[in-house]
Amino acid sequence: MKASKQAIELIKDFEGLRTSVYICLAGYRTIGYGHVLASNDNIDEIPLMEAEELLSIDINKAENSVLRNINIELTQGQFDALVSFTFNLGSGALQRSTLRQKINRQEHDAVPKEFMRWVHVSGMVVPGLVRRRQAELELYIL
């Protein structure tokens, strides 16, 4: 299964494009469409084409994480929502989440609450994360 064009556009919209290094809300050096740089990456700027390549690599990692961690059949919308979630929060967050457990037990009624637990940075609710989780939920219930 692969992320749909709709999922990729959602990720791009919420991540935004920055061709220069910036520090994200979680405190990581980031570039492009939310690509977290390794501590030994010596990059200050990238062209758009490289940002697109990094996005593709990062989406592929998120897709593989969803496929590894979710053991039930998903609709395209459910898969897309989980790819966006994983792209944003990382594979470890999905792996250790109650969201993953609820999905794997097919407790789909509990999914909205679990998505909305992931809207904080340093204990503070971030409005952009609330909007992103709501958009992911819309995909999930398609």
Residues 120-135 have a mean pLDDT of 94
Helix (H, G, I), strand (E, B) or coil at 98: helix
For residue 50, what are the contacts with CB-CB under 8 A and spacing of at least 6?
A: 32
Residue 39: the pLDDT is 87
Catalytic, out of 15, 63, 114, 136: 15
How far apart are the C-alpha atoms of 129 and 69, rounded to whole Å?
22
Taking the alpha carbons of 130, 108, 98, 35 in that order, is the dihedral positive or negative? negative
Domain ranges of the chain: 5-140
How far apart are the C-alpha atoms of 140 and 108, rounded to whole Å?
10
CATH number of 5-140: 1.10.530.40
Q: Where are the alpha helices (DSSP H) in 16-97?
A: 48-69, 76-89, 91-96
DSSP string, 52-66: HHHHHHHHHHHHHHH
Task: Determine whether 138 is an active site residue.
Answer: no
CB half-sphere exposure, 75, CA atoms < 13 A: 11
What type of residue sits at position 116? M
Residue 110: the pLDDT is 94
pLDDT digit string (tens) for 4-61? 999 999 999 999 999 999 998 888 999 999 999 998 898 999 999 999 999 999 999 9
Residues 105-123 have a mean pLDDT of 93
